[in-house]
Amino acid sequence: MQFFVDTADVSEIEALADTGMLDGVTTNPSLIMKAGRPMLEVIAEIAKLVDGPVSAEVTATEKDAMIAEGRKLAAIAPNIAVKLPLTWDGLKACRALTGDGHMVNVTLCFSAAQALLAAKAGATFISPFVGRLDDLGLDGMKLIEDIRAIYDNDDDLQTEILAASIRTVNHVQAAAIAGADVATIPPGILLKLIEHPLTNKGLETFLADWKTTGQSIL
Ligand code: E4P
């Protein structure tokens, strides 16, 4: 499973790129607001930092305007994935932009039926929002499982499942088990993936025992 980071904060992306674990980036209008910087400038910087797909979301709601915005965003760099909402206009724009040869990430997916439509519209990625479903007391991970089963039933559906709205380390593990192709992960959660108290405790003991031997490897 590939790891994307879900942020528009360039310094967070720089720090994570250094781990060698970063396969791409997703942004959305709320993350751009949080970054407090001009969108086109931020997206251009991020696209230089990461080789993989960088999702940049349109804000128009009508098909032709979405296509125009999508083409402008895609012109920033070859690794831009245009992010479109899961509406009929969004799906029509998806078909047009993928027809141009651009990557498209269809976002705000909350049902398997929506994911089926996005795949039929030729989306490169579908973004099911796990955490926002869990927030309502629903089972976000079941949606990933259902989409995986639907896509696996039909060789014509080549869309990648991008598990989004990830809130916990457990979400990342469960998305990988459920067959998500990608998870887009908040920076804090990505850094937490490595943590386990037994790793720290075990290392402490190994190093203490090693010290008593008086040896050195170099
Ligand atoms: C996905 O691409 C979205 O940017 C993101 O994962 C939404 O997460 P949230 O529900 O935590 O806002």
pLDDT in tens, 10-60: 999 999 999 999 999 999 999 999 999 999 999 999 999 999 999 999 999
Mean pLDDT of the chain: 98
Q: Mean pLDDT, to the nearest integer, of 75-88?
A: 98
From CA 71, how far away is CA 215, in angstroms rounded?
Answer: 62
Tell me whether residue 34 is one of the annotated catalytic residues.
Answer: no
- Would you say the CB of residue 184 lies under 6 angstroms from ligand 1? yes
Of 33, 150, 144, 56, whose CA–CA distance to 105 is shortest?
56
Question: Which of 34, 48, 63, 83 is an active site residue?
Answer: 83
- Would you say the CB of residue 105 lies under 6 angstroms from ligand 1? no
- 186 CA distance to ligand 1 middle (Å): 8
From CA 3, how far away is CA 21, in angstroms rounded?
Answer: 7
pLDDT at position 17:
92
Pick the CATH number of 2-213 from 3.30.430.20, 3.20.20.70, 1.10.10.10, 3.40.50.261: 3.20.20.70
The residue whose CA is least distant from atom 5 of ligand 1 is: 165
Tally Cβ neighbours within 10 Å of residue 74.
20
pTM attached to this predicted model: 0.96
Of 87, 92, 86, whose CA–CA distance to 64 is shortest?
92
> Confidence band (pLDDT; 50, 70, 90) for 113?
very high
pLDDT at position 119:
98
From CA 61, how far away is CA 39, in angstroms rounded?
Answer: 18
pLDDT at position 153:
97
